[in-house]
Amino acid sequence: MPGELKIDGAQGTFTADVDGIPQTYTTAPGDTERKISFRFGVPEQANLEWANRPLTGTARVWYAFTDLSSGELAPGQTISLNLTNPSTNAH
């Protein structure tokens, strides 16, 4: 479509609070932690991991990957972008 805005980084949808600050993101095919961090200005990948840490176990994050070697996340997962109030459970 002419004039359509090109989005850099991740291509999925997100929710925001009343101030427009992104809170959650729903992963799309081809998304990686790096692409999500880039799109939303998350300073480091570790911060995205912190916002999505598991309650138990030794995994660094609760969300699933379709290809761990490339870092591609499984599509359709709603992950937290809120670094001050992390989501510690899978959605």
- pLDDT of 83: 78
- pLDDT of 91: 47
pLDDT tens digit string along 63-88? 999 998 888 999 999 999 987 776 66
Q: Architecture of 13-80 per CATH?
A: Roll (3.10)
Looking up tokens 């972008």 gives 81
Counting as low any pLDDT under 70, the low residues of the chain are 1-8, 45, 86-91
Q: Report the C-alpha gap between 68 and 33 in whole angstroms.
A: 11
Beta-bridge partners for 67 = 72
Name the residue type at position 45.
Q
State pTM to two decimals.
Answer: 0.80
Tokens in use for 25?
């993101």
